[in-house]
Amino acid sequence: MTTPTPRANWQDIIEAHDEERGNGAIHLSNRDLLLPADRFVKRHIGPRSHDVTKMLRTLGLNSLDELIDQAIPDNIRMDGYLALDPPRSESGVLEELRQMAAKNKVYRSFIGMGYHGTITPPVIQRNVLENPGWYTAYTPYQPEISQGRLEALINFQTMVTDLTGLEIANASLLDEATAAAEAMTLCHRAMPRSSTANVFFVSELVHPQTIAVVRTRAEPFGFKVVVGNHEEYDFAEATFGVLLQYPATNGDIHDYRAFAEKAHKAGALVVAATDLLALVLLTPPGEWGADVALGNSQRFGVPMGYGGPHAAFFATKDEYKRIMPGRLVGVTIDATGKKGYRLTLTTREQHIRREKATSNICTAQVLLAVMAAMYAVYHGPVGLRRIATRVRLLTGVLAAGLKQMGYQVNQGAPAVFDTLTVSGGRRSDIELRGAALGHGINLRYYGTTGVGVALDETVTVADLEALLAVFGAQEGEIDIADLADGVNLDYDAPFRRESDFLTHPVFNSYLSETEMMRYLKRLENRDISLVHSMIPLGSCTMKLNAAAEMLSITLPGFAALHPFVPLDQAQGYQELFHNLEAWLTEITGFDSCSLQPNSGAQGEYTGMLTIRAYQIARGQGNRHLCLIPASAHGTNPASAALAGMDVVVVATDDHGNVDVADLRAKAEQHRDKLAALMITYPSTHGVYEAAIGEICKIIHDNGGQVYMDGANMNALVAICRPGDFGPDVLHLNLHKTFSIPHGGGGPGMGPICVAAHLSPYLPGHAVVPGVGGAESLGTVSAAPWGSASILPIPYAYIAMMGEWGLRVATEIAILNANYVAEKLEAHYPVLYRGANGRIAHECIVDPRHLKDTAGVSAEDITKRLMDFGFHAPTLSFPVPGTLMIEPTESESLAELDRFIEAMILIREEIRAIEEGRMDHDNNPLKHAPHTAEVVLAAEWDRPYSREQAAYPADWVRRGKVWPTVSRIDNVYGDRNLFCVCIPIEEYA
């Protein structure tokens, strides 16, 4: 931290027109005008300075400082200011990021290992990846205003089930390695209760990063992971599951039928880590005996991005659907009987099972899953077969050329698809390395056993010529065209795919760019995102995802790097990581940072593993008990369970705070076993708990560590640093506090920051050296720095906001929330408040009494808000039957007032029900949301007007967002499970 120095205040940062002088005059000094005109802070912050004054007056305050003094306990406030630079201009930061990207050497990478070059169709890049209508949407918990991305995810699930030959697929997971770890726990959970099986077998032909993540996940559960040759494994030990790679990491394609049968006879389930493009030509895993298939959909149009984000896929048999991890989209009907989509079987989501969970997944990689699905939609089965066949041809040509030169290629393998393992021949390993680098090529080096070469759809004839030259071919020695003529493109049985795939019309109707563009636009128009209105979801921080933050992620220097290239080719990334880690540790007050966790829940899990590793290292591995407040998000106990800890719940008091007496009693009762406390700060109830320092001391005095959930860090940045007031580790949601977009339900990033004594245990990596601490806890994600390609977003956010801007963002977030709470209090009681009647950055309003007075539930209110063009606040968390509202600092006063007016008008409709002026059951709230189809129908038998249904406020007319389905029937969807594309004859 720095000592106080002269600095800008909010009046300087947020430009406002000078009303006295008029003509657009502004409050700026000559020195202000010396600064660049494209300052970002004024664009990120919603209210103008005169709006801030107005809101403060509503609260009876004179300054933001007065609000902060009332809201935040003095004992956790920072002394001084963050040691960060002042705000920088948009153009300046963009230029810096361009220079960073240029420092990365974009060689031709033929490394494989689950990451491949791909061609992102421009129509998908422009209309999905770069489109805020897609990337600013939230997880589709409100299905009536999420039908577009729900259909896109149904396409993804259909694509995966078709290609894998299995019956049901989820809506994506984080990466291939963590998907394999999830499959392991599914296999164990599927065993009969009487089973004592404790071994999970992993083929030595599985990608090494996957093996590492599986080992890390298995250890806290006490599972024994055996890695070996599948042809020699005899199931002598009771085994609950096996993991195979198809095709193998070295490129070999094995016939696993006999082994799968052997596994099943031994009572084990079979998991296949596989490749979607290969499955276009190869027998699907579901047809040779796999119970689960998983992998990375990255090569379906998603850039490698130095490791992510990418959408992993996960498919299984129908009998395991209720223990399958991750989200699942299903078909249901709405109130009129029309088909629609929703997240289905949500009670099986692992984080809802809390401490009984075997997974903590509460998110997906929706934006990337949409891209992969649309890649399949755009190419269709014919196009995919052409791409896959071409890759097979190129691989066959390269193999033939290498054999002609005397090399041995995949010795003993009955077949290959895109990856070759090359040995012998005319050049040594050292010579090959030198030649490859001289040609700007990366290969996979096995040491003394050979070299790997993986091809993809981006490969050209020139690439083949360069590869052959690397292996020593002389000019004119190899005739590629002649070799191509001799390649057999068909696989023999049992490898040849016989079954059809992607037969649904959606994969055969949008093959021109015109049709594809219109299809994507139709889907986009079915959803509400930040392009329409504020998304007031509590605990979700739906702030601006600025264009200036997003622009850099598609630069080739960031997008085109393979995650396992030599570090000297990724110096731009290394500089970005170094700076970002330094900023995050300064902001949080901790010593070290790991960027590896690629979701918030992964950050929780990694933080708890760090504590576990620390306790074991100091000889206290018996500490396995974790205290968690009753109000915690469900992923907290789930993450603790994954880290091998037993959960004890701590009570909360009537004000929503941790019951300190109960905490002390339980900490002392379990002092010999206490490992940690997991706590969210500010609390999930939206208040700053004054006792946080005392809470941390109680835990430390009893031998435990304090993990802080950073979900609400947006209420602390630049005012309080967690490392200064007690916690030992926290995770950050970069997709909340630091502006990575939610993407409709992913991607996210959940890096952890830790105190010095935990630094040695930060996660490492099995492939890339030098990552993590000296006593690393293991590997938690497939890529060493998680979803690296989206890290330029928080980098740009912090650089453009600077120390001043970050503080003002926190202050305005708190102001906006308190303003909303103040304006709504007379209509909906605010459930919890902190000292001096203030809240943090979010508030919980309580409509539960309306169920008794008018028969109206919180859900009815959320559906009616859709008629006003708003996404709902968070429903029934952390208190069932309530609404949690978080406006963020990015929303203007005008937008806040629109939302407040909508909530008040809804309350007046409820009052009409209470007073008998509106029917108890046949009213706008019970029928909400209202579609255009319903409002324009020939018959209207409701006792309120069509106008009241569709235009409940005058301003709704200016930009009406029409839901495309009426209220979704959740029960029907769970009872009639259907999780692939709707048959065309059933489309309305």
Give pLDDT tens digits for 11-41: 555 655 555 555 555 566 788 788 788 889 9
Residues in the chain: 988
Q: What is the mean pLDDT of the chain?
A: 94
What percent of the chain stands above pLDDT 70?
Answer: 95
* Beta carbons of 401 and 480 less than 8 angstroms apart: yes
pLDDT tens digits along 925-964: 999 999 999 999 999 999 999 999 999 999 999 999 999 9
The verdict on whether omega for the bond into residue 285 sits within 30 degrees of 0, i.e. cis, is no
| Mean pLDDT along residues 58-78 | 96
pLDDT the model gives residue 4:
44
pLDDT tens digits along 704-732: 999 999 999 999 999 999 999 999 999 99
Q: Which architecture characterizes domain 556-789 according to CATH?
A: 3-Layer(aba) Sandwich (3.40)
Residue 6 confidence class, pLDDT cut points 50, 70, 90: very low
Q: Is residue 42 packed enough to be buried (19+ CB in 10 Å), middle (13-18) or exposed (0-12)?
A: middle
| Mean pLDDT along residues 159-181 | 97
* Beta carbons of 303 and 104 less than 8 angstroms apart: no
pLDDT the model gives residue 349:
52
For 139-377, CATH gives: 3.40.640.10
Q: Which helix (H) or strand (E) holds 243?
A: strand 239-246
Q: How far, rounded to the nearest angstrom, does the alpha carbon of residue 700 sit from its chain's CA centroid?
A: 32
Say yes or no to pLDDT of 141 above 70.
Answer: yes
What percent of the chain stands above pLDDT 90?
Answer: 90
pLDDT the model gives residue 20:
54
Comparing C-alpha atoms, which of 343, 328, 322, 294 is closest to residue 182?
A: 294
Q: Is residue 160 packed enough to be buried (19+ CB in 10 Å), middle (13-18) or exposed (0-12)?
A: buried
* Beta carbons of 809 and 798 less than 8 angstroms apart: no
The yes-or-no answer to whether 139-377 and 556-789 have a common fold is: yes
Write the DSSP string, 139-171: PSSSGGGBHHHHHHHHHHHHHHHHHHT-SEE-S
Say yes or no to pLDDT of 338 above 50.
Answer: yes
pLDDT tens digits along 898-927: 999 999 999 999 999 999 999 999 999 999
φ, ψ for residue 287, nearest 5 deg: -90, -15
Write the DSSP string, 337-399: S-EEEEE--GGG-GGGGGGG-S-------HHHHHHHHHHHHHHHHHHHHHHHHHHHHHHHHHH
pLDDT the model gives residue 982:
84
Q: How far is CA 250 from CA 109, 304, 415, 988, in A?
A: 16, 19, 12, 48
Say yes or no to pLDDT of 351 above 70.
Answer: no
| Mean pLDDT along residues 222-239 | 98
Write the DSSP string, 447-484: GGG-EEEE--TT--HHHHHHHHHHTTPPTTT--HHHHH
Q: Which two structure tokens, joined as six digits, stand for 316?
A: 């299984």
Residue spans of the domains in the chain: they are 139-377, 556-789
pLDDT tens digits along 576-603: 999 999 999 999 999 999 999 999 999 9
In the numeric block, the tokens 């164990």 are attached to: 188
Residue 358 confidence class, pLDDT cut points 50, 70, 90: low
3-state secondary structure 281-342: CECCHHHHCCCEEEEECCCCCCCCHHHCCCCEEEEECHHHHHHCCCCCEEEEEECCCCEEEE
Comparing C-alpha atoms, which of 616, 808, 615, 639 is closest to residue 709?
A: 639
pLDDT tens digits along 665-697: 999 999 999 999 999 999 999 999 999 999 999
The 10 Å Cβ neighbour count of residue 437 is 17
The 10 Å Cβ neighbour count of residue 956 is 17
pLDDT the model gives residue 77:
96
* Beta carbons of 649 and 630 less than 8 angstroms apart: yes
